[in-house]
Structure formats: C-alpha cells, structure tokens
Amino acid sequence: MSTPQPLSYRQLFWQVMHRDLKVAVHNKGDILNPLIFLVIVITLFPLGIGPETNLLTRIAPGIIWVAALLSALLSLERLFKNDHSDGSLEQMLLSPQPLFIMVLAKISAHWLLTGLPIILIAPLLALMLHMEPLAYPALMITLALGTPVLSLIGAIGVALTVGLKKGGVLLSLLILPLYIPILIFATAAIEAAALNMPYSGHIAIISALLVLALTLSPFAVSAALRVSTN
Amino acid sequence: MNSLLRAYQLTCIREDRVLFDELSFTVNAGDLIQIEGANGAGKTSLLRLLAGLSLPYEGEVRYREQAITKCRENYYQNLTFIGHLAGVKGELTTVENLSFSLALQQDRIDNIDNAIERVSLTGFEDSYASHLSAGQNRRIALARLWQSTSKIWILDEPFTAIDKSGVAQLEQLFLDHVARGGAIIFTSHQELQIANHSVQRINLEDQI
Amino acid sequence: MWKWLHPYAKAERSYQLASTLQPWFAISSIVLLVVGAVWGLAFAPAELYQKEYYRIIYIHVPAATLSMSVYMAMATAVLISMVWQLKLADAAAAAMAPIGATLTAIALITGAIWGAPSWGTSWVWDARLTSYLILVFLYLGVIALHNAFEDKALASRAAGILTLVGVVNIPIIKYSVEWWNTLHQTATISKLSAPSMSSEMLWPLLTNILAFALMIGALTLVRFKNEVLARNAMRPWVRELAAKVGDK
C-alpha cells in the first residue's frame, strides 16, 4: 500500500479553486444576480436625485463604489453557505492540508466570479453616470485593487456568521464598517484623477491594504470557520 | 504501548443539558468501538468532539497522548471522519467528488473504480451527485473508506442508506481495517453481523 | 504571567475576587462622581467664550477618552483568552462590550448637545466625530455577534475574532477618516479656542475621568460576575450559590 504524496500548496490552491469554479458554473444566478443588483442600484441614483449631468459627474465615484460594496456584500453570503450545509466545509477543516490555503483559494474563486465582473462592467456604469473621462483609469485600478480587499475582509464576516440561521443582516453590520477605509481611498483616488491630479499615493495605500488583507484575512477566516462549524 | 486516541474527562453541554460528564475512554489500534445511546444522547456530539470539530466544555481529546488542538495536522493525517452530512457537492460528478475528497485527505487516488464498485455506484461515475438519491450520495462519501490510508475512522451512522450486501461489504472492510491495526469509532442503529470480533460498546446513557 | 493568573483561572475564585473588589470600585466611583460633578458644575469657573455650557465636558471628555480604552481592554482580554486558553477572559470581554458601546454613544450624544451652541450645528462630519461613530458600529457588531450565538463560549470565540479584526482596523479607519476629513474640509469649525485649560477646570475634569474609570470597573465587575454565573450554570458551586440566595 503506497501512501500518496501530500499536495503542494499550489496544487491544493488550484484544486480547491477549480472545484469552486466548476460548482459555480452550475449556479449562474449566483454570479449574475449581484451584478444585476449593482446595475439597478446605479440606476436608482439618477432617478432619486435627478439627471443633472454635473451633479452626477461629481458623485459618480462615490455611487459606483458604494454600490460595489453592497453588491459584494450580497454575493459574499454564498461564499461558505453551501459548503457548510452539505458538509464539505467540515471535510476541509478535517483535512491535514493547511486550511488558510483552501480559504484563500475559495476567496480567489469568489473574487473571479463576482469581483472581476464588477470591474468589467464598471466603464458602462461610469458612462451612465457621466463620470469624468480622465477618471476612468483610476476607477479601473481602484476596483482591481479594491474588490479583492472587499472579498478578503468580507470572508471574515461570512465565516463568522455562516453557522447562524439569520446571518444576512448581521453580516452587513459586521463588515460594512470595515469597508470604510477602502471606500475613502478609492473614491478619493478617482476624484483626484478627475481633477487631473496625481493619485499614485492613494493607489499605494490601497495596495498596502490589499497586502495586509491578503496576509491576515485567511487566518482570521480559518479561525472563524472552526468556530462556526462547532 | 501508547494509545491511539484518548478521550480525557470529556464534558459536553448542549442547551443547558449535560449530555455526558467526565467521559474517559481509550482507543487502541485494533479497536472497534460502537457508541450507543438513544436519540439525543449525544452520540453525534461525542463523535464531533473526538474529531476536533467542536470543543468540549471540559476535558480534552488526545491523539498519541497529545491534545489534538496542538497536533491538528498529524491527527488529521490519520483521521477519516464521515458525519451526518455527506460532504458531497451536487454540482460535481461522483468521480469528481470522490477524487476531491481523497486529495484533501491525502488518501490513495489510484484504483478509484474499485471503491466505486464497492459502494455499487458503477455506471454512475459521471452522473452529477444532485441527480442521485440521498442514499447514493452517502455512498459516494463512504467510498473514501476503501481508499483510506488513515488509522482512525470516525463514522456517524455509516450503515444507513446502504443495502444488505453493502452492509456486509462494509463490515468486512471494518474487520480488515481493524486487523491492519486501525481503529474505528462509529454509531449505528442497526445490529452488526460481526460475530468473530468483539465490538466494544460505550453507552452514553450510562455516563450520567 | 501564567503562574500569577492560574489561581484565577478557576471560575469560583474569580467570582469571589470580583465580589470582593466590586464594593470598593462602586463606592469610590460614586464618591468621585459626586465630587467631580459638584466641583465641575458649581465651582469651576465659567469659560471665557462658551460661558456655562462648556461644562458638558465633565461628561463628554471622560466618556470619549475611555470609550477607546474599553475597546483596547476588551481586545486584551480576548488575546489573553486565546493565548492562554483562559475562558474567564472571554467573560470579561463579553462584559465590557455593552459598556464601551454605551460610553461611545454618550460621547457622541453629549458631543452633539455641545456642538449645537458652540458650532451652530449638532452634527458635523468632523474626523473625530466620524471615527467615534464608526467605533459605535464596531461595538454594535461585537455585541450583535455575542447575541447571535446561543452557546456563550462559541459566541465569545466568534466575537473575539471580530474584536481583534477591529483592533487591526481601528488605526486604519482613524487615519483614513482624518485624511478624508482634511480632503473634504469645507465648513470651518471653530474648535475650542483655549488650547490649555486652566488648572481650576482641569482638576475637576481629571477627577471625573478617574470617577468614570472606576465606574466602568464597577460595572464590568457586575457584568463579569453575571457572565461567569451564566457560563457555569451547571457547576455545583453556582447551584449552591443560587440555593443560598433562594433561601434568603
């Protein structure tokens, strides 16, 4: 009887991510619905405050980012829910493989499915809100660096509430305050870009937040999952 | 000889009810242990404590005389746990489900067909688990046992949802595993047919 | 550290210790509160520009300074519980959360009341106000998580993780809000024009801060005792205690 070689970190990461992507292909609504939600929320703002172009141009960065936060929150709920209810989360916790790699893989898969589409659709949203054309690159860069942070921080909240029956509203209460720094720096970067001012400093700070979230969040999520499956 | 697994003065409280108090027992290589008790006596809770999925109110579980919270990786290398939930994804096929859980558990991934045959799922290899019955889903989870390289098996109701010949096959596997120096802790509502091996029994209702 | 702490890892010992300490904290805080209030409200001189209504600082400042400290104390308790597996520290953390939230709320409300006459508006998106508002949110999250779990030990572990995540985030949030504020500063706020307080005002303020700290200690002890009882309801010593109280 031969004992198989343990998986390398990279193999484990790919296996878990591959599996999550495969599962997601079967639940297309999980990917599409948050995106539709995002577009609808964006539509509501001009309807609520009037179609005046100047006003929309000024508040476009804020609106897009707030809507992105909310849609991230909406999609995050599913991150561990199914795995928890069908028992595969238990199996991951009982694996001799390092949990934080698996967690990181799941979060990455989740970001590919929900964060990336937001970035792709963002120019369209910016167009609808008459955003300053100069600011488009900044919008894309902040979303590219910022949405992974949303997934990473959000995952902590999801992991803490996944075992609860009514976790949804609680999740937003736990997570939204933690999203504030990223919201501030991202919108500030876009506003600076719209005024044709340098915004590399903001981007540097957002990158730093990303690195911090990337290193700390998987451990917090792992610890939280062990509590939630109790 | 050191014990494989030791429950040391475990106390479990659920919703202000003491399920068991200062429960201690030892699991050695070659042990086949059945946990008994009425519904709600805490069988599942005990198995989850032993697997380290939940923490006891008091006491600890030790793997080779070391608290399992301190040697998680070593312990899980040698533990296969199949609980109430099958851990099978409906969106994946039988083979995909099985190979993923084997990879996760670092079990043998060769000769998967044999394991699938043992749980009589031949012909369903590429069916999505969501298209299969609950019993078949459970058997996908059980198929892991034929590939398992871990010493300790903790199984919650492994015999439900399998037919008579399946039960006989699983019992045979139990005996083989124990003979190889493994240990099995399980719960079951059914009477086992295993005669030639003494099954140790722990009754939770005697513990209070 | 561990050797010194170990006897108090026993729930009963800690309960008794808390019971012994509680009256000392309670009495000294009541005395100091009365002294501080009378001194501050009646004897301290009126402020040059704000006349009498500046006196709200005797509540506002103690609440504001201590609300952050309570969060840090809570995080320390969580850390102790995680590092030394000391379950009692969880009870302490759980005891502190609502106290901290209330203090932060008091700081915000008294700030608004104070702001109305001195700034001409009850609420401004000032950096300090905004970060205190966010601190309230963090507290509420911890409390909500505590309440969401039925099992107290689980609730504490979950809320503990959130508390530590919050601690990492507090400086980031504080920095980002300050920075956001300087970026968006439009309405000029006339902050307190006197940078250094006269000692006649300072001493009653310090008295009040000390009084608040002792009061927080007393309240924490009461809530800590409750938490310990709730978490050990199955123990013989708790049952004996309950029987004793029942007999009276």
For residues A119-143, average pLDDT: 94
Please judge whether B16 and C153 are an interchain contact, meaning their C-beta atoms are less than 8 angstroms apart.
Answer: no
CA distances A228 to A168, C78, C150, C228, Å, are 15, 18, 12, 23
pLDDT > 70 fraction of chain C, expressed in percent and rounded: 89
pLDDT digits over C97-156, tens only? 999 999 999 999 998 888 888 777 878 787 788 889 999 999 999 999 999 988 888 899
For residues B89-97, average pLDDT: 90
Q: With beta carbons less than 8 A apart as the criterion, state whether C228 and C11 touch.
A: yes
Measured CA to CA, the distance from residue C43 to residue A152 in angstroms comes to: 54
Cβ neighbours for A119, distance < 8 A, ≥ 6 positions apart: A140, A143, A144, A147
Measured CA to CA, the distance from residue A138 to residue A144 in angstroms comes to: 10
Task: Name chain A contacts of B74, Cβ cutoff 8 Å.
Answer: 96
Q: How many domains does chain A have?
A: 1
Q: Tell me if A178 is assigned to some domain.
A: yes
For residues C215-237, average pLDDT: 90
Q: Are residues B71 and B17 in the same domain?
A: yes
Spatial CA neighbour of A122 closest among A180, A58, A199, A42? A42
Q: Where are the alpha helices (DSSP H) in chain A?
A: 9-26, 28-49, 53-76, 78-86, 88-93, 99-110, 116-128, 136-161, 168-175, 180-194, 200-228
For residues C224-229, average pLDDT: 92
Tell me chain C's radius of gyration from C-alpha atoms: 21
Cβ neighbours for C139, distance < 8 A, ≥ 6 positions apart: C71, C97, C100, C101, C104
Q: With beta carbons less than 8 A apart as the criterion, state whether B153 and B145 touch.
A: yes
For residues A16-36, average pLDDT: 89
Chain C contact for A160 (CB, 8 A cutoff): yes
pLDDT above 70 (res B8): yes
Identify the pLDDT of residue A136.
94
Q: Which of A92-96, A120-124, A209-213, B101-105 has the lowest mean pLDDT?
A: B101-105
Chain C contact for A197 (CB, 8 A cutoff): no
Q: With beta carbons less than 8 A apart as the criterion, state whether A160 and A226 touch.
A: no
Identify the pLDDT of residue C8.
57
Quote the distance between the C-alpha of residue A50 and its chain's center.
30
Chain A neighbours (≥3 Cβ pairs under 8 A) are: B, C
Q: Tell me if C141 is assigned to some domain.
A: yes
Q: Could you tell me whether strands B200-203 and B66-67 are parallel, antiparallel, or unpaired per DSSP bridges?
A: unpaired
Task: Name chain B contacts of C230, Cβ cutoff 8 Å.
Answer: none
State how far residue B20 is from chain A, nearest Cα, in angstroms. 17
Q: Are residues B26 and B58 in the same domain?
A: yes
Spatial CA neighbour of C89 closest among C78, C100, C75? C78
Task: Name chain B contacts of A27, Cβ cutoff 8 Å.
Answer: 91
Three-state secondary structure of chain C = CHHHHHHHHCHHHHHHHHHHHHHHHHHHHHHHHHHHHHHHHHHCCCECCCECHHHHHHHHHHHHHHHHHHHHHHHHHHHHHHHCCCHHHHHHHHHHHHHHHHHHHHHHHHHHHHHHHHHCCCCCCCHHHHHHHHHHHHHHHHHHHHHHCCCHHHHHHHHHHHHHHHHHHHHHHHHHHHHHHHHHCCCCCCCCCCCCCCHHHHHHHHHHHHHHHHHHHHHHHHHHHHHHHHHCCCCHHHHHHHHHHHHC
Q: Tell me if C63 is assigned to some domain.
A: yes
Q: Tell me if A198 is assigned to some domain.
A: yes
Q: Tell me if A6 is assigned to some domain.
A: no
Identify the pLDDT of residue B188.
85
Helix (H) or strand (E) holding B43: helix B43-51
Instruction: Kindly tell me the sign of the dihedral angle through the C-alpha atoms of C182, C186, C188, C189.
Output: negative
Spatial CA neighbour of A173 closest among A186, A164, A161, A185? A161
Measured CA to CA, the distance from residue B70 to residue B62 in angstroms comes to: 9
Q: How many domains does chain B have?
A: 2
Last residue of a domain, one of B149, B167, B198: B149
Joined tokens for residue B154: 């903790």
For residues C188-216, average pLDDT: 75
Q: Which of A36-50, A204-218, B5-19, B127-141 has the lowest mean pLDDT?
A: B5-19
Quote the distance between the C-alpha of residue B167 and its chain's center.
15
Q: With beta carbons less than 8 A apart as the criterion, state whether C124 and C189 touch.
A: yes
Q: With beta carbons less than 8 A apart as the criterion, state whether C39 and C203 touch.
A: yes
Helix (H) or strand (E) holding B121: none
Instruction: Kindly tell me the sign of the dihedral angle through the C-alpha atoms of B65, B8, B73, B181.
Output: positive
pLDDT above 80 (res A59): yes
Identify the pLDDT of residue B161.
75
Identify the pLDDT of residue B202.
85
Q: Tell me if C19 is assigned to some domain.
A: no
- Preferred mutation among B11, B12, B13 to probe C, highest tally of C CBs within 10 A: B13
- Strand, coil or helix: B84: coil
Q: Are residues B143 and B159 in the same domain?
A: no
pLDDT above 90 (res A40): yes
CA dihedral C40, C45, C46, C47 (to 10 degrees): -100
Residues 138-157 of C with CB under 8 A from B: 150, 153
Number of cross-chain residue pairs from B and C with Cβ atoms under 8 Å apart:
7
For B201: left if phi > 0, alpha if psi spans -120 to 50, otherwise beta; the answer is: beta
Q: Tell me if C5 is assigned to some domain.
A: no
pLDDT digits over A71-102, tens only? 999 889 889 988 999 889 999 999 999 999 99
Q: Are residues B37 and B103 in the same domain?
A: no
- Preferred mutation among C85, C234, C238 to probe B, highest tally of B CBs within 10 A: C234
Please judge whether A94 and B81 are an interchain contact, meaning their C-beta atoms are less than 8 angstroms apart.
Answer: yes
- Strand, coil or helix: B194: coil
Chain B neighbours (≥3 Cβ pairs under 8 A) are: A, C
State how far residue C133 is from chain A, nearest Cα, in angstroms. 10
Note down the domain range covering B112: 85-149
Measured CA to CA, the distance from residue B196 to residue B176 in angstroms comes to: 12
Quote the distance between the C-alpha of residue B68 and its chain's center.
17
Please judge whether B16 and C233 are an interchain contact, meaning their C-beta atoms are less than 8 angstroms apart.
Answer: yes
DSSP B12: E
Please judge whether A170 and C140 are an interchain contact, meaning their C-beta atoms are less than 8 angstroms apart.
Answer: no
pLDDT above 70 (res A4): no
Q: Tell me if A164 is assigned to some domain.
A: yes
Identify the pLDDT of residue B208.
53
Q: Are residues B2 and B42 in the same domain?
A: yes
Identify the pLDDT of residue A1.
43
**What does the mean pLDDT of chain C come to?**
85
Q: Tell me if C248 is assigned to some domain.
A: no
Q: Are residues B74 and B104 in the same domain?
A: no
Residue scoring higher pLDDT (C242 or A137): A137
pLDDT > 90 fraction of chain C, expressed in percent and rounded: 41
Task: Name chain B contacts of A30, Cβ cutoff 8 Å.
Answer: none
pLDDT digits over C3-45, tens only? 555 555 688 888 889 999 999 999 999 999 999 888 888 877 7
pLDDT digits over B153-198, tens only? 999 988 887 778 788 888 889 989 998 989 999 998 777 777 556 7
- Strand, coil or helix: B89: coil
State how far residue B21 is from chain A, nearest Cα, in angstroms. 19
Residue scoring higher pLDDT (C181 or C150): C150
Long-range (24+ apart) CB contacts under 8 A made by B191-197 are B192/B34, B193/B167, B193/B168, B194/B32, B197/B32
Q: Tell me if C156 is assigned to some domain.
A: yes
**CATH code, domain carrying B58:** 3.40.50.300
Q: Tell me if C224 is assigned to some domain.
A: yes
Task: Name chain A contacts of B106, Cβ cutoff 8 Å.
Answer: 3-4, 6-7, 95-97
Identify the pLDDT of residue B169.
86
Residue in C with minimal Cα distance to B18: C234
Q: Which residue in the block uniquely carries the two structure tokens 């494989």? A: B4
Measured CA to CA, the distance from residue C128 to residue C153 in angstroms comes to: 34
Residue C162: pLDDT band (50, 70, 90) is very high
Note down the domain range covering C227: 25-185+198-239
CB atoms within 10 A of CB A24: 18
pLDDT digits over B126-144, tens only? 889 889 888 888 889 999 9
Q: Are residues B2 and B73 in the same domain?
A: yes
Quote the distance between the C-alpha of residue C189 and its chain's center.
28
Q: Could you tell me whether strands B66-67 and B58-63 are parallel, antiparallel, or unpaired per DSSP bridges?
A: antiparallel
Q: Tell me if C245 is assigned to some domain.
A: no
Please judge whether A91 and B106 are an interchain contact, meaning their C-beta atoms are less than 8 angstroms apart.
Answer: no
Measured CA to CA, the distance from residue A145 to residue A212 in angstroms comes to: 12
Q: How many domains does chain C have?
A: 1
ipTM score of complex: 0.88
Task: Label residues B22-48 b or e (16+ Cβ within 10 Å = b).
Answer: ebebebebebbbbbebeeebbbbbbbb
Note down the domain range covering A65: 11-228
